[in-house]
Amino acid sequence: FDDRDGVIWFDGEFVDWRDAKIHVLTHGLHYGSCVFEGQRAYGGVVFEQRRHHERLHASAEMLGFSVPYSVATLDAACEELLRRMAFRDAYLRPVAWRGSEMMGVSAQDNTIHVAIAAWQWPSYFAPEERMKGIRLDLAEYRRPDPRTAPSRSKAAGLYMICTISKHAAEKKGYADALMLDFEGYVAEATGANVFFVEGGRIHTPLADRFLDGITRQTVIALARAKGLEVIERRIRPEELDGFEECFLTGTAAEVTPVSEIADWRFKPGAISLGLLEDYMAAVQPK
Ligand code: PMP
């Protein structure tokens, strides 16, 4: 990924893609003092850009540091980055981390760095699988208790268990893994939120102990706008037996139907596909 043409916005300036480097003694690398965002541009406009940058700020605050660029500055940086990369449809990755001045656990005065890269990432899951529904395994690790970690932050450190879980699932031929929360309720996939459909009603886990996705919130609003009932609640894994449809939501995943979770089976149906269509319409620039 580091060897390609283009530019990356790095601490307020545009640098050549290949020169956007950091030192090996970076606090963010050693101790996970790093937060990031994932956003998508459609037709040259980043969907919900402001909310993503506000969330980047909030994620950093939960880790005890402040992003040294305002939301407006980050918005402008993304717009200019898209122009320079000549992208209309792209994925953008802002990232903020503690620098390399001090190498202990404590690094109160380390410089906070921020970078934004953009690349073309048409589909998070293979397009041919997406409409048939993707297959998920059940992850071994659980999402951490909010008393164990700032579990609502989009913190790089929290993705350690996501990568372990996703790799384990991929080794068994699955596209991704469903993770439970610390109490054993259904939580989310490794990079997307999860929804279920039963009898025309939509059920999704309460997002008070993991990332409350911006796509999740958008899809809930779209569903309610068309008169569908959306119930946010604790969901036990045994209940998966009774659900007819299942789908994931996320900036990268957009709306992706799920056909299997371990031994449970679902059919990509009218509600999932309808919300996929509604979402793809909603993200288009107005
Ligand atoms: N959960 C996790 C763990 C994620 O990484 C993501 C992707 N950012 C989501 C949920 C979905 O969030 P969003 O819809 O804001 O992209």
Ligand 1 pocket list (CB less than 6 A): 38, 188, 191-193, 211, 213-216, 249-251
What are the DSSP calls for 119-183, one per residue? E----SS-HHHHHH-EEEEEPSS-PPPTTTS-TTS-BGGGHHHHHHHHHHHHHTT-SEEEEE-TT
If you take atom 13 of ligand 1, which residue's CA is the nearest one? 213
Q: Output the CATH code of domain 7-119.
A: 3.30.470.10
Whether 210 and 271 have beta carbons less than 8 Å apart is answered as no
Residue 195 DSSP SS3: strand
If you take atom 3 of ligand 1, which residue's CA is the nearest one? 191
Say what the pLDDT of residue 225 is. Answer: 97
Active site (annotated) includes residue 154: yes
Segments making up each domain of the chain, as ranges? 7-119, 127-282
pLDDT by residue for the chain (286 residues), tens only, comes to 999 999 999 999 999 999 999 999 999 999 999 999 999 999 999 999 999 999 999 999 999 999 999 999 999 999 999 999 999 999 999 999 999 999 999 999 999 999 999 999 887 777 777 889 999 999 999 999 999 999 999 999 999 999 999 999 999 999 999 999 999 999 999 999 999 999 999 999 999 999 999 999 999 999 999 999 999 999 999 999 999 999 999 999 999 999 999 999 999 999 999 999 999 999 999 8
Say what the pLDDT of residue 64 is. Answer: 97
Q: Give the burial class of 86: count Cβ atoms within 10 A of its Cβ; 0-12 exposed, 13-18 middle, 19 or more buried.
A: exposed
127-282 has the same fold as 7-119: no
Q: How many whole angstroms from 195 Cα to the centroid of ligand 1?
A: 13
Say what the pLDDT of residue 229 is. Answer: 98
Give, in words, the CATH class of 127-282: alpha beta
* Ligand 1 pocket test target in 40, 56, 251 with most atoms within 8 Å of CB: 251
If you take atom 9 of ligand 1, which residue's CA is the nearest one? 192
pTM: 0.96
Diameter of the chain measured on Cα atoms: 57
Closest CA to 62 of 157, 192, 163: 157
**For the chain, counts of helices (H) and of strands (E):** 7, 16
ipTM (interface predicted TM) = 0.99
Q: CA–CA separation, 132 vs 162, rounded Å?
A: 24
